[in-house]
Amino acid sequence: MLLRQLFRSVVASVLFFVLLGLAYPAIETGIGQAFFSHQANGSLGPNGSTLIGQTFTGPRWFQGRPEPSGNNPLASGGSNLGPRSKVLAADVRHEVAVLQKEGITPRNALVTSSGSGLDPDITPADAYAEAPAVARANHLPLAAVRHLVARHVTGRELGFLGSPYVNVLQLNEALAHLKGSTGA
Amino acid sequence: MSYLWFILALVVVLGLLWRFLGAYMVAVYDGTTHWLGFVERPVYKLLRVDAEAEQSWQRYGMSLIVYSGVAILVVYLMLRLQGSLPLDPQHLGAVSPALSFNTAVSFVTNTNWQNYAGETTMSYLSQMGALAVQNFASASVGIGVAVALIRGFSRKGSATIGNFWVDLVRGILYILLPISLLATIVFMAQGGVQTFAGPVHVHDVLNGVRQTIPRGPVASQEAIKQLGTNGGGFFNANGAHPYENPTGLTNFLSIVLLLAIPVALTHTFGKMVGNVRQGVAVLAVMALIFGAWLGIASYAEHVGNPAVAAAGVTHQGAGNMEGKEVRFGVQQSTIYNVASTQTSTGSVDSANDSYTPMGGFAMLSGMMFGDVTPGGVGSGLYTILLFAIITVFIGGLMVGRTPEYLGKKIQAREVKLAAFAVLVMPMTVLVMTGIAVSIHAGRVAPLNAGPHGFSEILYAFTSQGNNNGSAFAGLSSNTAFYNVSGAITMLLGRFAIIVPVLALAGSLAAKQHVAASAGTFRTDTPLYAGLLVGVVLIVGALTFFPAVALGPIAEQLSTGRLF
């Protein structure tokens, strides 16, 4: 009796390994590579992945959120600092000071770190808050920079899913283009 | 406003799943649908299983334990031998013995507690062939046990409660695999990664940044990790990682997937016992408690983070953004984590550790009530049915009558089994937490100081005891002590509950139905649902209040103090 259950357990383990552990992900990989190859390979562009945050140091660039690992994709995860942590308060105070020195009035999301440690986005409000400093540092008209931000705001999917955001890498690529075309 | 639409859409989608997936699962477990017979029959042939032959509860339980034991061994060996096995493009090498043991137990018990960072520990083969396989199997085992208990109520004078192997295979083939196949495609279309090509090195000429970005077969694992209420992430950041959960749409889909089966099972339950209202009563209890925790957490997160406020950011706009992703925002992150902790999924799209004291309290307490609102696949339903039995027992004591539930007399044996199974989790969690805070190896692990540090330890054992797997991730728990104590907690939280549940199923199945009379306490009424809410809350509060008072409550009340 016990032996029969042992036999079945071993056969089931092998079967499930082949069906669920190899065939299922392999079929999905085939579908992904055939129909969604850009996404399935990591949404890669010439300057990296638009889904993986990178460190841009301001104010010549739009900057993303401060991440504890410095946006290292091999060390994803948040700060894990608690809501009454002295360390968190000190970190945030430091970020506020850095941004204020650059002439940016930081909002909440721009001085806190994300859950992934790789947040590729900032809020539209934060992008607009950075715009004057970016315009000044690059000798660009503020209106042109604000226009750039406006063009890069992604709204909620279907009008209610998620929160509006601006992708930092795409915004900076557009900024580089703008700098190039105005000779700044 | 978008949050209201979000909740409305969720309710509508879950309502449809409740009705249609619930009815479909009746057909799956009654054996009346056979559209995948061409795959199913050869599987039985290889397993040498007679699909018509049923098992007594003892034999069902033995098959379950033997299979789970073999599965733990298989996962353990695959992780230990990882360095010699293929599909390891990052050359990560073998996983240490203590961590392999903890991880094997974790995935076989449907917990998915992770003492490791996936992107730097697990090869593609381990992720797909060891861990994701158990995401399917452990989920199907859980649903099977719940269905076996339902059969105990619906049958009369029966010596058997079903066949473990048939339930296991049908749950995977007919429910988990088809839905996962479809959901993976949505994840990929939205940006979920699915490749065997290994990590990619990128160089950004704008800022001079160089990155090595790990990739892998992520989307296929994401779908089953949510649907099976497993929760183990491919990456350390879990559902916060943009490759796992790229958009607001995938965030919504994740929440739908993890709630789908636990919610729909209440319909399956009602149908199988011949009165859908019985299932509605159970669902109402789940929804009421779920809604309460969601309300508390949403409000607390909206108010904002005290440490960020202390740093001078007094206007926090949408709320506490520490540990949350911009693309999800505060509220839709909160509902994800609440849904995930209350279904014993344990995946996160934002860092639980950085939630406000009351936000974290909502996550922790949802688990402390036994993860029944609506709980994990199968485990949520069978655990709340234990509470339902205790409720009719208490109701019976009040009026001095032998209690009945769903036409079955509830006698001493049933009450003893239910009470034992309900008490296993709190006993394990509290004893383990007590040991951890008493010894050096336990006390050095928390990242945070003050009451939050204690919460990290309490959360770890509560999560593992409920086979949830979510974490206050600041705890450095990849140590011999936490790996072993955690594995014991997970094993007890799973099998020390499943065995009495199966015994209960066997004992109920053998009984005859008693006809309802004028004196029967009806269990499909708001009065009964209210009583059940009371029992769940009282049992949870009585056992855990002192511990919670030292953690999140102390933290909440420490206004103006930082630690």
Q: Quick: pLDDT tens for B349-367.
A: 999 999 999 999 999 999 9
Q: Out of A27, A48, A89, whose CB is closest to B307? A: A89
Contact B246, A83 (CB under 8 A): no
For range A127-152, the mean pLDDT: 97
Query: What letter represents residue A143's amino acid?
Result: A
Are B355 and A83 a contacting pair, CB within 8 Å? yes
Chain centroid to CA B367: 9
Nearest CA in chain A to B240: A116
Would you put residue B110 in left (φ > 0), alpha (ψ -120 to 50) or beta? left
pLDDT band at B455 (very low <50, low <70, confident <90, very high): very high
User: Which one of A2, A13, A28, A104 would you mutate to disrupt binding with B, by most B Cβ within 10 Å of its Cβ?
Assistant: A28
Residue among A77, A92, A116 minimizing CB distance to B308? A92
Question: Closest partner residue to B128 among A22, A113, A119, by Cβ?
Answer: A22
**Whole domain around residue B109: which residue ranges?**
23-264
Burial (Cβ within 10 Å: 0-12, 13-18, ≥19) of residue B206? middle
How far is residue A115's CA from residue A146's CA, in Å, rounded to a whole number? 28
- Report the b/e string of B260-285 with b at 16+ CB within 10 A: bbbbbbbbbbbbbbebbebbbbbbbb
Is residue B396, in this structure, part of any structural domain at all?
no
| Rounded-to-integer distance, Cα B219 and Cα B241, Å | 12
* Test mutation, B326, B330, B476, chain A, max A CBs within 10 A: B326
| The pLDDT of residue B282 | 98
- The answer on pLDDT for B344 being more than 60 is yes
Residue B376 forms part of a structural domain:
no
Edge-first strand order for the sheet with A121-122 is A121-122, A165-167, A153-154
Please give the pLDDT value at position A183.
Answer: 54
Q: What does R_g of chain B's alpha carbons equal in angstroms? A: 23
The mean per-residue pLDDT over the stretch A27-51 comes to: 98
**Is B117 within 8 Å of A75 when comparing Cβ atoms?**
yes
What distance in Å separates the CA atoms of residue A119 and residue B359, rounded to the nearest whole number?
Answer: 22
Residue B82 lies in a domain: yes
Taking 80 as the threshold, does the pLDDT of residue B260 lie above it? yes
| B410 part of a folded domain | no
Answer for the pair B74, A35: CB distance below 8 angstroms, yes or no: no
Instruction: Indicate the residue type of A175.
Output: L
Q: Where are the alpha helices (DSSP H) in B370-439?
A: 379-399, 412-438
Q: With bands split at pLDDT 50, 70 and 90, how would you rate the model's confidence at B560? A: confident
Q: Residues of A numbered 58-117 whose beta carbons fall under 8 angstroms of chain B's beta carbons: which are they?
A: 61, 65, 71-86, 88-93, 96, 106-109, 111-117
Q: Mark yes or no for CB contact A24/B181 under 8 Å.
A: yes
pLDDT mean across residues, chain A: 95
For residues B39 and B51, the answer to whether their CB atoms sit within 8 Å is: no
Residues B186-196, mean pLDDT to the nearest whole number: 98
Residue A171: how many other CB atoms lie within 10 Å: 25
Residues 6+ apart with CB under 8 A from A97: none
Q: Does B247 sit within 8 Å of A161, measured CB to CB?
A: yes
Q: How many domains does chain B have?
A: 1
Q: Is residue B456 part of a domain?
A: no
Q: Is the pLDDT of residue A184 over 70?
A: no
Q: Assess whether pLDDT exceeds 70 at residue B65.
A: yes
Helices (H), ranges, B191-247: 219-227
**Contacts across the A-B interface (CB distance below 8 Å):** 388
What values do phi and psi take at A153, rounded to 5?
Answer: -75, 125
Q: Cβ contacts (< 8 Å) between A89 and chain B: which residues?
A: 307-308, 310-311, 562
Mean pLDDT of the B235-251 span = 98
Determine the pLDDT at residue B19. Answer: 98
B46, B327, B328, best to mutate vs chain A, most A CBs in 10 Å:
B327
B275 to chain A, minimum CA–CA distance in Å?
35
What pLDDT does B87 receive? 96
**Which residue among A96, A109, A157 sits closest to B321, beta carbon to beta carbon?**
A109
Identify whether the C-beta of residue A64 lies closer than 8 Å to the C-beta of residue A53.
yes
- Mean pLDDT, chain B, as a whole number? 96
CB contact under 8 A, A85 and B133: no
User: Mind listing the pLDDT tens digit for each residue in B297-334?
Assistant: 999 999 999 999 999 998 888 899 999 999 999 999 99
Please state, as a whole number, how many other Cβ atoms lie within 10 Å of the Cβ of residue B158.
Answer: 17
Task: Give the Cα separation of B125 and B247 in Å (integer).
Answer: 27
What are the tens digits of pLDDT across the range B517-557? 888 889 999 999 999 999 999 999 999 999 999 999 999 99
Instruction: Flag whether B11 is in a domain.
Output: no
A80 interaction partners in chain B (CB closer than 8 Å):
323, 351, 353-354, 447-448, 472-474
Tell me the ipTM for this assembly.
0.97
pLDDT (0 to 100) of residue B402: 87
- B372, B384 Cβ separation under 8 angstroms: yes
| Chain B contact set for A119 (CB, 8 A) | 242, 325-327
User: How many Å apart are CA B376 and CA B221, to the nearest integer?
Assistant: 17
B427 inside domain: no
CA pair distance A148, A162, nearest whole angstrom: 22
Give the closest of B129, B194, B324 to A22, CB-based: B129
Residue with tokens 């540092």: A137
| Chain B neighbors of A159, CB-CB under 8 A | 2, 5
| Rounded CA separation B324/A140 (Å) | 32
* CB within 8 Å of chain B, chain A residues 115-174: 115-123, 125, 156-163, 165, 169, 172-173
Judge whether B434 lies within some domain.
no
CB B306 to CB A47 under 8 A?
no
Q: Cβ distance B147 to B107 under 8 Å?
A: no
Cis peptide leading into residue B199 (ω within 30°): no
In angstroms, rounded to a whole number, what is the distance separating the alpha carbons of residues B28 and B17? 15
- The helix (run of H) or strand (run of E) holding residue A176 is helix A168-182
The larger pLDDT score, comparing residue B316 to residue A171, is at A171
Q: Residue B203 pairs with which residues in a beta bridge?
A: B210
CA B465 from centre of chain:
11
Q: Which pLDDT band holds residue A58 (cuts at 50, 70, 90)? A: confident
Q: Average pLDDT, stretch A83-90?
A: 96
Distance (Å, rounded) from C-alpha B554 to C-alpha B563?
Answer: 12
- Minimal Cα distance from B555: which residue of A? A84
Q: Other CB atoms closer than 10 Å to residue B527's CB: what's the count?
A: 12
